[in-house]
């Protein structure tokens, strides 16, 4: 269930059944800060992260069941700071017309059947552990007053610290009612007595719901004297007062806010259409936290649902309004759709004002401006310096720099979470304008080139030298002299620093040394390695240069030299034998490797973008951090090759052989395509295929571990006898894919999968999920499916003949016309499954759950083994029912 809510409103849901009706309980809650002049809302996450452990509720905020009577709760401690007597005090709480008092004492003990004097205390937590109780006392087993303890070498019985003023303890044999303001746990007898009684009718018709004679007072957590029996909702707008429960304030007073909680759900009907419905919420609980002057306000309600566990409710929206300022239902639907957008929805996460009135939003991180600090201050100064330099250069050309670079005017854009959507829109507009301007400039250049087609041959040769990475002699000499001057200056400054400071280095001097320059160059090279396939194709290398580079390779091979770090871009390497060659770090982009042999070659960090790889042998070659993007290898042999962290984006492989190859952490695969390729016995680890296409290819006997297929298309593919461990298929199309006799563990076939004519016949599948997946006519016959989740899947006409599906879940699954003949379904959960026309003859359903299954006259259950099978409750729409034989 998707949840859309502001930071300052919490919302919890719980499905339940009552009187043969399925409903969804809804509870919205807020944390209110009363420390300021007016109450304000603060993020509800503070409750679970900081407050809940101190609220004496065993970590349970609420049962999320609709309370029919409003109530108040109090969590905190008693303080003696406001009186002379430090051994005891009275605490009192008044909410509207309800008032309750308690007496609080320091530690006391029974000594010779008399009560010792209470010891002084500064604060005493008002919790059930300090009220009357003890081992064997069901009303409060965690309390004190029953059972002896060894204290300071003396066996004695402690007395409770908290008592009811009108029922104080006077005898060690007394069993008074525990005193407190905290919620009463549901298993305490005084609350559990409302649960109702068991009956056979209930078991057969409504076993998932509460007993029909259940008293709804079971849902109330407060003691009876903290509830209003004559009201259906809290007396909002009324005052409350708490005495002696704040360390500095004798009496804390306030008013229950009259804020209104709104809640909407998106509910899906049987036809698949969705309705946006409002859930009526009433203020039912005020939970005071006087020690910090906060309070928790709870609103309860419920809505009818079609499914027992409310699977038909897809989303929920929660908000708070002020009285007299209602917002339209359409507004909340718009906010829901806006926040549900996968691309921009997260931008609204900190924008509480859409769902909470701004006047009651309390201070928190999202309301404070971001501390820009020195970083943005320095960036601003740098911007001014750059603008001044560029303005000076522009003015030197005779142009008006003020028109080209206008000064910024107007207020600064606010930097806070509230304005993230506007900031995003602004950046999108700027990006669009920039792209439009670049596009116009490209068109202008193309037009100019078309009007002036002639090219100076000498100029073209110089440009080609630049493309080929050659540095003119004059430039090379200048660079060499510059490096020498830089080194001399560095040495002089180091010597001066040592004389003045007696240190070895001048790390603060800020001059780049050779190591820094080398690191920078390596970083730039790495950036180029991983992004070259995104760049437009450069100027074609001349045939003369291509042949020169071929001669260079042959000469180095003749001398026994390696081929590392060479510029072989566009080189003509057709037919060459480069077996075991070390090509590490070389640029081979656009190179022609047709009919070449690179068996066992080291191609680590090699740039192969747009290279021509046809009928090329690359057996046992090493591709570590290699960029093979934007290439189209054909009939290439990668048998035994090692592919690690390489780039395959926008590449198309056809008729290639990857048998026995190993893939490790290959994640840059977007838009790669593989057709008529063989991956038999390949090992693939920690690899992600994104938006890829596989056609007419084989992964038989392959070993896959932690591999994801995201938005892929797989057609006519076989994984026969493959091992698929922790593999994931997401939003992909699988058409005629064969998983026969594969071993599949921890796999996920979920989320927007389109599976057609696939076979898992004889496969061994364990701990895998097909949740909500459409698997019509898929063949699982003779498969072993241990503890798999097929809940809410569509398996219309699927074949499960002779399957062993021990412990698997088919809850709410569409199994119409499916075949389970002679299947072992021990311990399976078929609750609420649609089994109309399903063939379950001779199936073993021992210890399975077939409650609420939908059978009709076309369902076949003859010979099904139903010993220890859960048959109830029955489904109301069913026209055929399970009939266990007398032997069973």
Question: Which secondary-structure segment (H or E) carries 294?
Answer: strand 294-304
Best CA proximity match to 303, nearest among 292, 316, 294, 290: 316
Say what the pLDDT of residue 536 is: 62
Residue 475 pLDDT grade (very low, low, confident, very high; cuts 50, 70, 90) = very low
Rounded to an integer, what distance in angstroms lies between the CA atom of residue 738 and that of residue 716? 8
* pLDDT above 70: percentage of residues in the chain: 82
Asked if 74 and 245 touch (Cβ cutoff 8 Å), the reply is yes
**For the segment 764-819, what is each residue's pLDDT rounded down to a tens digit?**
999 999 999 999 999 999 999 999 999 999 999 999 999 999 999 999 999 999 99
- SS3 of 645, please? coil
Say what the pLDDT of residue 512 is: 53
Cα 828 to the center of its chain, rounded Å: 29
Best CA proximity match to 875, nearest among 845, 855, 847: 855
pLDDT of 473 higher than 50: no
**For the segment 560-589, what is each residue's pLDDT rounded down to a tens digit?**
999 999 999 999 999 999 999 999 999 999
pLDDT of 677 higher than 50: yes
10 Å CB burial of residue 408 (0-12, 13-18, 19+) is: exposed
pLDDT of 526 higher than 50: yes
Rounded to an integer, what distance in angstroms lies between the CA atom of residue 744 and that of residue 721? 10
pLDDT of 451 higher than 90: no
pLDDT of 868 higher than 80: yes
Say what the pLDDT of residue 568 is: 92
pLDDT of 115 higher than 80: yes
Rounded to an integer, what distance in angstroms lies between the CA atom of residue 14 and that of residue 488? 76
pTM of the model: 0.70
| Dihedral sign from CA coordinates of 861, 864, 867, 868 | negative
Asked if 186 and 201 touch (Cβ cutoff 8 Å), the reply is no
pLDDT of 147 higher than 80: yes
Say what the pLDDT of residue 640 is: 97
Q: Which residue has the tokens 């430039």?
A: 475
The whole-chain average pLDDT of the chain stands at 87
Residue 468 pLDDT grade (very low, low, confident, very high; cuts 50, 70, 90) = very low
DSSP letter at 395? H
Say what the pLDDT of residue 349 is: 78
How confident is the model over 513-529, as a mean pLDDT?
63
Say what the pLDDT of residue 474 is: 43
Asked if 825 and 848 touch (Cβ cutoff 8 Å), the reply is yes
Rounded to an integer, what distance in angstroms lies between the CA atom of residue 478 and that of residue 270? 78
Say what the pLDDT of residue 794 is: 94
How confident is the model over 324-338, as a mean pLDDT?
93
Asked if 651 and 612 touch (Cβ cutoff 8 Å), the reply is no
pLDDT of 470 higher than 80: no
802 dihedral zone (left: phi>0; alpha: psi -120 to 50; beta): left
Residue 515 pLDDT grade (very low, low, confident, very high; cuts 50, 70, 90) = low
In this structure, what are the phi and psi dihedrals at residue 617, rounded to the nearest 5 degrees?
A: -100, 120
How confident is the model over 155-177, as a mean pLDDT?
93
pLDDT of 680 higher than 90: yes
Residue 463 CB-half CA count within 13 A: 11
Cα 93 to Cα 90, 239, 286, 555, distances in angstroms: 10, 11, 12, 96
Residue 466 pLDDT grade (very low, low, confident, very high; cuts 50, 70, 90) = very low
pLDDT of 469 higher than 70: no
Q: Report residue 773 as tokens.
A: 């997946």
706 dihedral zone (left: phi>0; alpha: psi -120 to 50; beta): left
- SS3 of 174, please? coil
Residue 380 pLDDT grade (very low, low, confident, very high; cuts 50, 70, 90) = low
Q: Helices marked H in 103-196 — which ranges?
A: 189-192
Residue 506 pLDDT grade (very low, low, confident, very high; cuts 50, 70, 90) = very low
Rounded to an integer, what distance in angstroms lies between the CA atom of residue 564 and that of residue 604? 10
For the chain, domain boundaries: 2-75+202-366, 102-125+127-179
Rounded to an integer, what distance in angstroms lies between the CA atom of residue 560 and that of residue 137? 91
**Residue 738 CB neighbours (<10 A):** 22
Q: How far apart are the first and last CA of the chain?
A: 40
Best CA proximity match to 4, nearest among 358, 350, 336: 336
Residue 876 pLDDT grade (very low, low, confident, very high; cuts 50, 70, 90) = confident
Question: Which secondary-structure segment (H or E) carries 690?
Answer: strand 688-690
- SS3 of 564, please? coil
**For the segment 596-634, what is each residue's pLDDT rounded down to a tens digit?**
999 999 999 999 999 999 999 999 999 999 999 999 999
Question: Which secondary-structure segment (H or E) carries 17?
Answer: strand 10-18
pLDDT of 488 higher than 60: yes
Say what the pLDDT of residue 98 is: 96
How confident is the model over 646-651, as a mean pLDDT?
94
Rounded to an integer, what distance in angstroms lies between the CA atom of residue 681 and that of residue 7? 51
Residue 508 pLDDT grade (very low, low, confident, very high; cuts 50, 70, 90) = very low
**For the segment 740-754, what is each residue's pLDDT rounded down to a tens digit?**
999 999 999 988 899
Torsion of CA 810, 816, 820, 821, to 10 degrees: 160
* pLDDT above 90: percentage of residues in the chain: 67
Rounded to an integer, what distance in angstroms lies between the CA atom of residue 517 and that of residue 503? 24
Least trusted range by pLDDT, from 38-52, 166-180, 195-209, 423-437: 423-437
pLDDT of 457 higher than 80: no
């Amino acid at each position: 269930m998707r949840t859309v809510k502001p930071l300052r409103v919490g919302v919890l849901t719980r499905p339940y059944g009552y009187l043969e009706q399925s409903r969804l309980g809804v509870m919205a809650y807020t944390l209110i800060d009363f420390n300021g002049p007016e109450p304000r809302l603060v993020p509800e996450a503070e409750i679970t992260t900081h407050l809940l452990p101190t609220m004496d509720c065993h970590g349970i905020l609420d049962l999320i069941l609709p309370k029919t009577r409003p109530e108040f709760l109090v969590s905190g401690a008693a303080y003696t700071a406001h009186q002379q007597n430090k051994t005891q005090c009275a605490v009192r709480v008044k909410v509207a017309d309800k008032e309750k008092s308690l007496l609080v004492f320091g530690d006391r003990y029974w000594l010779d059947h008399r009560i010792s004097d209470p010891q002084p205390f500064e604060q005493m937590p008002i919790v059930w552990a300090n009220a009357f109780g003890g081992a064997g006392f069901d009303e409060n087993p965690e309390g004190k007053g029953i059972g002896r303890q060894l204290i300071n070498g003396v066996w004695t019985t402690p007395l409770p610290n908290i008592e009811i003023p009108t029922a104080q303890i006077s005898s060690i044999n007394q069993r008074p009612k525990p005193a407190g303001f905290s919620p009463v746990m549901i298993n305490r007898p005084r609350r559990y007595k409302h649960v109702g009684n068991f009956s056979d009718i209930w078991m057969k018709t409504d076993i998932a719901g509460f007993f029909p004679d259940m008293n709804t007072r079971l849902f109330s957590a407060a003691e009876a004297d903290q509830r209003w029996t004559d009201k259906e909702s809290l007396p909002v707008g009324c005052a409350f007062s708490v005495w002696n429960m704040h360390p500095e304030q004798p009496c804390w007073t306030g008013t229950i806010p009259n804020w209104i909680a709104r809640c909407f759900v998106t509910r899906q009907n049987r036809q698949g259409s969705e309705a946006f419905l409002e859930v009526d919420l009433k203020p039912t609980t005020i939970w005071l936290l006087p020690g910090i002057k906060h309070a928790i306000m709870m609103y309860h309600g419920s809505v009818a649902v079609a499914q027992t566990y409310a699977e038909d409710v897809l989303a929920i929206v929660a908000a708070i309004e002020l009285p007299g300022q209602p917002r339209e239902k359409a507004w909340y639907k718009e906010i829901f759709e806006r926040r549900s957008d996968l691309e921009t929805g997260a931008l609204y996460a900190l924008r509480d004002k859409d769902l909470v009135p701004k006047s009651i939003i309390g201070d928190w991180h999202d309301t404070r401006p971001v501390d820009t600090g020195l970083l943005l201050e320095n960036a601003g100064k740098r911007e001014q310096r750059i603008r001044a330099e560029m303005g000076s250069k522009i003015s030197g050309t005779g142009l008006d720099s003020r028109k080209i670079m206008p000064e910024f005017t107007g207020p600064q854009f606010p930097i806070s979470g509230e304005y993230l959507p506007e900031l995003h829109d602004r950046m999108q507009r700027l990006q669009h304008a920039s792209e439009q301007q670049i596009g116009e400039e490209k068109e202008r250049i193309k037009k100019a080139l078309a009007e002036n087609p002639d090219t100076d041959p000498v100029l073209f040769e110089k440009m080609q030298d630049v493309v080929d990475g050659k540095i003119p002699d004059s430039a090379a000499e200048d660079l060499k002299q510059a490096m020498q001057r830089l080194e001399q200056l560095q040495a002089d400054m180091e010597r001066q620093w040592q004389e003045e400071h007696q240190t070895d280095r001048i790390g603060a001097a800020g001059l780049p040394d050779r190591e820094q320059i080398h690191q920078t160059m390596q970083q730039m090279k790495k950036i180029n390695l991983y992004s070259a396939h995104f760049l437009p194709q450069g100027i074609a290398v001349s045939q003369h240069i291509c042949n020169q580079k071929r001669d260079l390779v042959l000469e180095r091979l003749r001398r026994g030299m390696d081929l590392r770090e060479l510029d072989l871009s566009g080189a003509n390497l057709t037919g060459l034998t480069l077996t075991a060659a070390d090509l590490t770090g070389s640029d081979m982009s656009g190179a022609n490797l047709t009919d070449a042999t690179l068996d066992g070659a080291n191609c680590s960090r090699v740039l192969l973008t747009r290279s021509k790889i046809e009928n090329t042998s690359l057996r046992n070659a090493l591709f570590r951090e290699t960029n093979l993007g934007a290439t189209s290898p054909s009939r290439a042999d990668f048998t035994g090759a090692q592919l690690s962290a390489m780039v395959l984006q926008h590449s198309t492989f056809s008729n290639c052989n990857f048998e026995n190859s190993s893939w490790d952490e290959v994640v840059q695969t977007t838009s790669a395509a593989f057709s008529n390729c063989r991956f038999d016995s390949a090992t693939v680890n920690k690899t992600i295929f994104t938006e890829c296409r596989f056609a007419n290819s084989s992964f038989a006997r392959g070993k896959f571990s932690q591999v994801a297929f995201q938005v892929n298309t797989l057609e006519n593919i076989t994984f026969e006898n493959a091992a698929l461990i922790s593999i994931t298929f997401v939003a992909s199309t699988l058409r005629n894919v064969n998983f026969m006799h594969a071993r599949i563990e921890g796999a996920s076939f979920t989320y927007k999968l389109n599976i057609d004519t696939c076979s898992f016949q004889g496969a061994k599948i364990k701990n895998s999920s097909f949740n909500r997946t459409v698997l019509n006519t898929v063949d699982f016959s003779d498969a072993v499916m241990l503890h798999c989740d097929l809940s809410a899947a569509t398996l219309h006409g699927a074949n499960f003949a002779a399957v062993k599906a021990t412990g698997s879940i088919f809850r709410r699954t569409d199994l119409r016309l499916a075949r389970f003949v002679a299947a072992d379904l021990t311990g399976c959960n078929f609750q609420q499954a649609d089994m109309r026309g399903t063939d379950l003859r001779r199936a073993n359903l021992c210890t399975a759950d077939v409650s609420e299954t939908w059978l009709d006259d076309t369902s076949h259950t003859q010979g099904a083994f139903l010993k220890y099978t859960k048959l109830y409750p029955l489904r109301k729409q069913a026209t055929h029912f399970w009939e266990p034989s007398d032997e069973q």
